[in-house]
Structure 1
């Protein structure tokens, strides 16, 4: 309780013995101690009560009629607790005593009445969280009112306990956590939860936190809390706290050509490839050139070894089958059976953030004798944070280049790209799509960047806007933040990282999307200030990654 305002010439003392209580009225609370600045001297205090019809102050001369003071009575600040209110007022020079009346309505009958000689009173036995109206009048030596009473003062008693202070943490676009300190013994927390345009909902959770799921993205929610004892409130509501759910939940996707084990020794760089994936904190990554051939001296293929390396970090491969044969361990004397195998093209996902719903593959061979080892692998995932599903694909198109004006391999790549688009159309339904891979075609290819044009014509977006022969322009780009996009995705193991002076590098690797926000794009590499690689990259391609928001 804050201190009272004391007024000269009197020192206001909260001494219960100084209050005269009329029959049937509330009395001052003898258990309440006076403020530290006040003192109580029972010996020097006037009598708290006086017989009816006798003067309040014996020292006053009853033959004298006091002159009413022209100064009106006025209250000082009232100090209220749950069951009591301390009043003080400016004393009148002509007054010998005072009468305080307390009502539960403005101008209503007195519920409590206290008389005394001091310009202060303490009324106890009140109800918590209740509004009272107080009025005081000055009395002469015979208890007769002097002048007009004061104006009414409205005071509300507080609840006995302070309101809890809820803390709100946003978990995702569809979930928040509300937490609070352990409430007082015998009480429970009641939360009020309100969404825009909706009726407030009340809940009484146990413990000290509540996870609220099933919310709407990009929405402001209001939370407040109070304490209950049984069904009775024992605290006021806390101040409202708001929580705004974000527009979406970031999903990190990537494409990574890990360079085949037959192309370059796998053993010295296998951990580097795995660490590149793990350190990028990816949710889903499309892998290329993780060959199905067994590593020298082992019975394990390159893609199987990579799957084992990333498993401790919570990553899994959608399919661990080598061949689409009845005996899936070998393609010798293969009796064809669709097992979802996809050659050196694979998909790795983070089990903590996405859930695999279904998966499959399709061979991309379109010209006899060419492309038998080319695949698209696909998977439908569900984002565990918000339940949104999406289609993800990984592919690796024909790598050989034409010479002497030939368009042979150019034609094969285009045919394979069309099958990629057809496969996506066959499995996407209404799902958003992220299509990644090594398309083995750049904006500088002749006669055109065919696979790029085919994917764009099928309705997919290149977030970088890395269109044909572009340097500083980024037509159709959707990415909001760029990191190292000036570097090429194919590093060719050169000491000096390949880059352009423009915005985008020359990339054979792509991340295509359907319509969605792309928050960030990074070409992942470690270079010094001079643009030279720090150490030798674990693959001849740099991992490319994008952070997207599923619609």
Structure 2
């Protein structure tokens, strides 16, 4: 009887200790970040239509459960569907021409994990604070949606910037100008707050655009302790990727793991790009 009482008491003490241990685990946990070109809902072919693939996208996101993910080619009806079917997630962003219309660089985050401290947008042009502005010969506005986030478990902060660069082969000089503008903006941010940049860059590693970015940022795939999935990301709904257009770039983070997610929930491809994902570690707190 006494032995049984002691076992019960020990179990009770262990149970009482779980919340504190759980909180400590949360503060030491990696930050999961995803970049996902969701493909604007313009396709009419079966399997490519938004209505045919949206539930596969939801299933993939539920399974991976990133703390935050930056999207490209997002329109408002897609955003509304995703937050309706992903409890706890919220999103923000402005259309590339300003307002709610057209494509967004929408950023989604798990509101149980993260709080938005501040957020905004700027355009990749000679007048970056003018919504919808186009210069440099771009066919359409290109922009960045950004936020300063705070993790609720430990108060740690980070910046996220999300973008989509122009797509034509002849647009490489314009992509370089966009990269330089983003890097210049990063230079004005506090050096002690880590930064992550997500996007469809429409250029591959080794390009002049990549070089412009990696003067100031590291490529999470190449920094990762573990890498999963194919290197290439754009597959045009074939499932066989041909180019590496989607990256995650970091400053101030360590990278535990990088994944290119070629999942087909229910046998359906969620988009014409594979999303990419990184598990990031905040720098150690001084004195700990």
TM range (shorter): 0.7 to 0.9
Secondary structure of the equivalent of 1:268? helix
1:304: which partner in 2? Answer: 80
CA distance 1:423–1:271, shift in 2 (3 Å): farther
**Structure 2 residue 238 is the aligned partner of structure 1 residue 462:** no
More contact order relative to length (CA 8 Å, sep ≥ 6)? 2
1:151-197 per-residue CA deviation (whole Å, 9 max, x = no partner) reads: xxxxxxxxxx9799767xxxxxxxxxxx6179xxxxxxxxxxxxxxx
Q: Is the 8 A contact 2:68 2:108 kept in 1?
A: yes
Within-5 A mapping of 1:163-312? 180=13, 208=16, 211-212=19-20, 248-263=28-43, 264-291=48-75, 301-310=77-86
Residue among 368, 376, 379 paired with 2:144: 376
Alpha carbons 1:354, 1:381 under 8 Å: kept: yes
Counterpart position of 1:525 = 262
Q: Say if 1:165 and 1:424 are closer, same or farther in 2 by CA, change over 3 A.
A: farther
Picking from 158, 165, 179, the partner of 1:417 is 179
Which stretches in structure 2 are left out of the alignment for 5+ residues? 127-134, 284-288
Any conservation in 1 of the 2:97–2:141 contact (CA below 8 Å)?
no
* 2:89 paired with 1:346: no
CA distance in 2, matches of 1:423, 1:439: 17
Q: Partner of 1:464: helix, strand, or coil?
A: helix
Question: What do the CA deviations read for 1:175-222 (whole angstroms, capped 9, x no partner)?
Answer: xxxx6179xxxxxxxxxxxxxxxxxxxxxxxxx558549x9x8xxxxx
Q: Once the 2 structures are TM-superposed, how far is the Cα of residue 369 of structure 1 from its aligned partner?
A: 4.7
* Equivalent residue, structure 1, for 2:275: 543
1:412 Cα offset (Å)? 0.5
Q: Does the 8 Å CA contact 1:347/1:377 hold for their aligned counterparts?
A: yes
Shift, 1:291, TM fit: 2.7
Q: What count of residue pairs does the alignment treat as equivalent?
A: 266
Quick one: which of 505, 508, 511 aligns to 2:245?
508
Change (3 A) 1:330 1:410: closer
Task: Kindly report structure 1 stretches of 4+ aligned residues shifted beyond 4 Å.
Answer: 161-167, 208-213, 321-325
Q: Is the 8 A contact 1:164 1:181 kept in 2?
A: no
Whole-Å Cα distance in 2 between the matches of residues 388 and 211 of structure 1? 20
More helix by share: 2
CA contact (8 A) 1:379 1:391 kept: yes
Tell me the distance in 2 between the aligned counterparts of 1:351 and 1:491: 32
Q: Is the 8 A contact 2:195 2:253 kept in 1?
A: no
Give me the whole-angstrom Cα distance separating, in 2, the residues matched to 1:482 and 1:323. Answer: 33
Asked which structure has the greater CA Rg, the reply is 1
**Runs (5+) with no aligned partner, structure 1:** 1-160, 168-178, 183-207, 218-244, 293-300, 332-342, 403-408, 466-477, 500-505, 528-532
What corresponds to 1:387 in structure 2?
155
SS at the partner of 2:235? coil
The 3-state SS of whatever aligns with 2:179 is helix
Q: Structure 1's 248 and 259: CA in aligned 2 closer, same or farther, altered over 3 A?
A: same
